[in-house]
Amino acid sequence: MNKLEILKRHFGHQGFRPLQEEAVDAILSRRDLLMILPTGGGKSLCYQLPTLMMPGVTIVVSPLLALMHDQVTALLEMGIPAAMLGSMQSFEEQQETVRRLRRGELKLLYVAPERLNNDFFSQLLSTLPINFFVIDEAHCVSEWGHEFREDYRRLSLLRERYPQVPIAAFTATATREVEADIASQLGLRDPVRVRGSLYRENLTVSARHRVGDGRAQLLDLLSAHKGESGIVYTLSRKQTESLADHLRAKGYSAATFHAGLSAEERRRVYEEFVADKIETVVATVAFGMGIDKSNIRYVAHMSLPKSVENYYQEIGRAGRDGLEAETLLLFGAQDLLMQRRFIDELPETPYKAHAYAKLEKLWRLVSGEACRHKALADYFGETLPECGERCDNCLAPAVERLEITEAARKFLAAAWRSGQRFGAGYLIDLLRGSRDRRILENGHEALSVYGIGKEYDRKQWSSVADRLLELGGIALNEHKGVVLTETGAQILKGEREVLIRKERMEKERRTPKPQPIEEVDYDRELFDALRQLRKEIATENGVPPYVVFSDKTLRELSIHRPQTQEEMLEVHGIGEVKFERYGEEFLHLLSEWS
């Protein structure tokens, strides 16, 4: 079969997505390949398809066992012989995989990078007809990347041990600096370089100043996605548990995921999430990298991520099926200080200075007023026009600013008069004339600044404090006490003006929701019936629902309502193998519905 016939039979696609065919052709011509393509762009197909046209087996190096497991499951459902070798398997299962490799029964083998340093596995590879190596999540090779892993650095051995075997490296994000480092560290020889656009038109990107603990803002997001899958990221294990409890109390199906849970509990949460039994996972970054679930409709961050790369990878988990998805980042100036403290603890190396620079760029991106998509592209060296309607800044009306210089001076005076020893919350109570016990014990009700800020509520004063942190007018000491900087002294003397976006001094208002990209109406009731059938089939076969058919496929079925095999094979995501397995049951439902 030629590549288009394979594309249709196994993957259910009528044609290639942008850049896929270029990557496939590079591998078929036995060239090294470096492909940078955002999540959802279809990187996996670029190496899964050509191996079916080549003799031998493809060795895929991937950093996460969960990702390997999901991809192998999906490949088997498409009729492609694949397996993995990992610690999730029993000794007998691993032995059976080795036997199948030696008999030439597998086309793709997934392994973790550390396995390549195993003497037995190295000897096994030397006996196999390897057509090419795949390095997935290739940014882990680079020290300048955001997820550097020492085991990935050792992958340079592949070129030394197997000099004639091509290498194909894939990642969703890489600055130009990281791209060059990947090629160098892996020893790629004149690789074909394929770089896709970072812009994902189905993704609405929003970043807002957090109001209080941000829970009301999060619930606003979740209410627009009731019954849909999503991920909420927090910084700590304690926060994940507290927030998940809060969401369950509000009627949402939510579970926690973090490194402190047992392996069995993490596996349970993961499996129930991919099986659509849990709607929302509240997680630390321990959850995410390698998730192959295509129907995640929203991703929220309750605080600032580590870097732009982390942020882009994490929001990239939404909308992988190409349907509309939404992301929300809530942040405050305290997040910036916390991330700086993490970096402060690192040893003095060039990497530390690099980490400070990355954090500064992330802060400018989230607190800035430019198009989010354009700002992300600029960071990775791509030039994009403004998105127009796919981010909060482009959707928002013209920004109106307020001058809050006098309020800023009051806050700074309160910090100065009280000895620069107290936190922002204490200073706000002082300005609002609180009779709090601590204020009275310190005798601060006698200060000239006591009660001079009653015109603002606590939320508004918190916005003033955050703005001063952003401008570098104040800093926090090791006890979180507010201290004035040189800039703060200038503001206090009236030598500098302080402006703030108007909405930050008002109650939080949700950004107008963008118009959906797909304007074709679909039958929601039929779509739900198809989802229920998919869930039953998935449970019966022991696979995640999205492996049977994606949400996009179900939506097309609800629109076109095919009645024959020929009509059904014209639907996105349904190939001959999938139809043989599941097609008749869906045709029966569609026939009954008609």
Lowest mean pLDDT among 23-27, 320-324, 355-359: 355-359
> Residue 483's pLDDT is what?
93
pLDDT of amino acid 220: 95
54 pLDDT higher than 90: yes
pLDDT tens sequence across 83-135: 999 877 788 989 999 999 999 999 999 998 888 888 889 899 999 999 999 99
| CATH number for the domain whose boundaries are 401-505 | 1.10.10.10
Report which of residues 415 and 260 the model is more confident about: 415
Q: Quick one: average pLDDT of 47-59?
A: 96
Mean pLDDT of 409-422: 95
Which parts of 493-583 fold into alpha helices (H)? 524-541, 545-548, 551-560, 565-568, 576-578
Instruction: Give dist(CA 244, CA 281) in Å, integer.
Output: 8
Amino acid identity for residue 379 in this structure: Y
What's the confidence (pLDDT) of residue 397? 66
Q: How far apart are CA 482 and CA 280, in angstroms?
A: 37
In CATH terms, 3-195 corresponds, of 3.40.50.300, 3.20.20.140, 3.90.1150.10, 3.40.190.10, to 3.40.50.300
Q: At what angle do helices 372-379 and 308-315 cross, to 10 degrees?
A: 120
Q: Boundaries of CATH 3.40.50.300 in the chain? A: 3-195, 203-395
Q: Mean per-residue pLDDT for 450-457?
A: 94
**CA-wise closest residue to 60 among 109, 131, 117:** 109
**Distance of alpha carbon 319 from its chain centroid, rounded?**
10
Percent of the chain with pLDDT over 90: 45
More confident residue, 315 or 504: 315
Q: Which CATH number fits domain 203-395: 2.60.40.10, 3.50.50.60, 3.30.470.20, 3.40.50.300?
A: 3.40.50.300
Mean pLDDT, range 400-418, rounded to an integer: 93
**Do residues 111 and 128 touch, judged by C-beta distance below 8 A?**
no
Q: Which of 23-27, 169-173, 343-347 has the highest mean pLDDT?
A: 23-27
pLDDT at 371 over 90: no
Task: Give the residue from 219, 205, 209 showing the smallest Cα distance to 506.
Answer: 209
Q: Is the pLDDT of residue 510 over 60?
A: no
> Per-residue pLDDT tens for 9-45?
898 888 998 899 999 999 999 999 999 998 777 889 9
pLDDT in tens, 208-247: 988 889 999 999 999 999 999 999 999 889 999 999 999 9
Q: Is the pLDDT confidence value at 64 over 80? A: no
Mean pLDDT of 306-315: 88
pTM of the model: 0.68
Confidence tier at 509 by pLDDT (50, 70, 90): very low
What is the arithmetic mean of pLDDT over 194-199?
91
Q: What angle do CA 585, 588, 590 make, to 5 degrees?
A: 110
CATH class (in words) of the domain with range 524-593 = mainly alpha
| Coil, strand or helix at 393 | helix
Q: Which of 225-234, 282-291, 462-471, 571-580 has the highest mean pLDDT?
A: 225-234
Query: Residues spanned by CATH 1.10.10.10 within the chain?
Result: 401-505
Which phi-psi region, left, alpha or beta, contains residue 419 (left: φ > 0; alpha: ψ -120 to 50)? left
- The pLDDT-based confidence of 289 (bands split at 50, 70, 90) is low
What pLDDT, on the 0 to 100 scale, is given for residue 283? 92
Percent of the chain with pLDDT over 70: 94
**C-beta neighbour count of 235 within 10 angstroms:** 18
Under the banding of pLDDT at 50, 70 and 90, the label for residue 518 is: very low
